[in-house]
Amino acid sequence: MQTLRTLKALHREGLLPVDPRLAEAADAMAIAITPEMLALIDRADPADPIARQFVPSAAETEIAANELLDPIGDEARSPVKGIVHRYPDRVLLKPLHVCPVYCRFCFRREKVGPGGEALSASELDAAIAYIEARPEIWEVILTGGDPLMLAPRRLAKLIAALDAIDHVGVIRIHSRVPIVDPSRVTDELLAALKPRRTALWFAVHCNHARELSVAARAALARLADAGIPLIGQTVLLAGVNDEVETLETLMRALVTARVKPYYLHHPDLVRGTGHFRVSVERGQALMRALRGRLSGLAQPTYVLDVPGGHGKVPIGPGYLGDDPDALPGALPGALLVEDAFGGRHRYPR
Ligand SMILES: *Cc1c(COP(=O)(O)O)cnc(C)c1O
Ligand code: SF4
């Protein structure tokens, strides 16, 4: 079984309604659904959360006025090709724009795809030279595309080059491969993920507990057993995971797979993704509900990437207020603290 890459293949699998706008959606962004993900789709469920992430929808042709071509301002912060340098101590390095699957909500929707600009050998050298010349860069985040789409030999070479830069303390890899194409997590890949000196962290992108198939959990276990610390990133997506039970199940499943939930990303203002958007108020209400239900180990930080290249910030909810006078009794100048169960309390400043 191969990765499905065309509307025709999706029709054959019974995954698509007939809609002329789908051709436009498929033109705007490549299609890829791995056999692993295809096997998880419940065709009897028109709202299947796996299909919703990967099967193109006519809704993608609806572009809202506030949606952006470069939703998180990568371009504005790219000093050399393949590098995004927004925070002093860390950079993104994007060696390629290919992914094992194409997620319809992708924040780099306008960039990813087969044939999308990969760095040539000399461009990669220039990107590494940029890092080498800046001692303030402590962490290099390999992203893309999906860096695990590089052949293990090339990935090993890249990691060795970063490992040789004394001021680089951490290499972080952002990938969806262990979940969507777990057979790529081979011994050869694990060997490539072993810098001699730097710490290597692995951030895995997972949006629904059902993505954690037996094979995916085995791939994560291989990474964890190789001594690689795993963190999880989830995109908050309408119709995929915007219910508290769904998020709770996902966060527990991640922790059980030895993945520490790191970020819950508020969906970015990506063109043609209005059908995935969730309001900030809804996101905060979900986070508040999780706080009352879940172990601290399973709590992600809810973040927004501020459009224009201004970086990520936690967006709550906040538990401190300014109006303790609403409570009986008196404690002058006190703060109001809300607990995880909705109770309100005074606390001295
Ligand atoms: C997301 C991002 C990072 C990493 O941010 P953390 O908060 O450290 O996870 C770094 N640089 C850029 C440009 C980013 O978009
Ligand atoms: S794997 Fe990541 S970069 Fe690739 S399409 Fe999905 S969200 Fe975008």
- On average, the pLDDT of the chain sits at 94
pLDDT of residue 218: 98
Return the domain boundaries, the chain. Answer: 63-314, 319-349
Q: Homologous superfamily of 63-314 in CATH?
A: Aldolase class I (3.20.20.70)
pLDDT of residue 37: 98
Task: Provide the 3-class DSSP secondary structure of residue 42.
Answer: coil
Mean pLDDT of 234-248: 98
Mean pLDDT of 296-309: 96
Question: Minimum-distance ligand to the CA of 174?
Answer: 2
Name the token pair of 247: 């998020």
Ligand 1: distance of its center to the CA of 134 in Å?
Answer: 17
pLDDT in tens, 331-340: 778 889 999 8
Atom number of ligand 1 nearest to Cα 74 = 13
How does DSSP classify residue 329? S
CB count, 10 Å around CB of 161? 17
Asked if 112 contacts 145 with a C-beta cutoff of 8 angstroms, the reply is yes
- The Cα 145–Cα 127 span in angstroms is 16
Ligand 1: distance of its center to the CA of 38 in Å?
Answer: 31
pLDDT in tens, 18-42: 788 999 999 999 999 999 999 999 9
pLDDT of residue 157: 97
pLDDT of 324 > 70? The answer is: no
> Which own/partner contact pairs does 20-24 have at CB distance under 8 Å and 24+ positions apart?
21/58, 21/61, 22/56, 22/57, 22/58, 24/60, 24/61
Asked if 258 contacts 230 with a C-beta cutoff of 8 angstroms, the reply is yes
* pTM, full prediction: 0.96
**Predicted confidence band of residue 116 (pLDDT cuts 50, 70, 90):** low
Residue 37 near ligand 2, beta carbon < 6 Å: no
CA 103 from centroid of its chain's CA atoms: 10
- The Cα 264–Cα 90 span in angstroms is 20
Asked if 270 contacts 74 with a C-beta cutoff of 8 angstroms, the reply is no
pLDDT of 60 > 90? The answer is: yes
pLDDT of 342 > 90? The answer is: no
Residue 93 near ligand 1, beta carbon < 6 Å: no
Q: What amino acid is encoded at 11 in this protein? A: H
Task: Look at ligand 1, atom 1, and give the residue with the nearest C-alpha.
Answer: 312
Q: What amino acid is encoded at 313 in this protein? A: V
**Predicted confidence band of residue 208 (pLDDT cuts 50, 70, 90):** very high
pLDDT of 220 > 90? The answer is: yes
pLDDT of 55 > 70? The answer is: yes
Mean pLDDT of 249-259: 98
pLDDT of residue 163: 98
pLDDT in tens, 82-114: 999 999 999 999 999 999 999 999 998 888 888
pLDDT of 52 > 90? The answer is: yes
Atom number of ligand 2 nearest to Cα 145 = 3
Helix (H) or strand (E) holding 1: none
Mean pLDDT of 160-186: 98
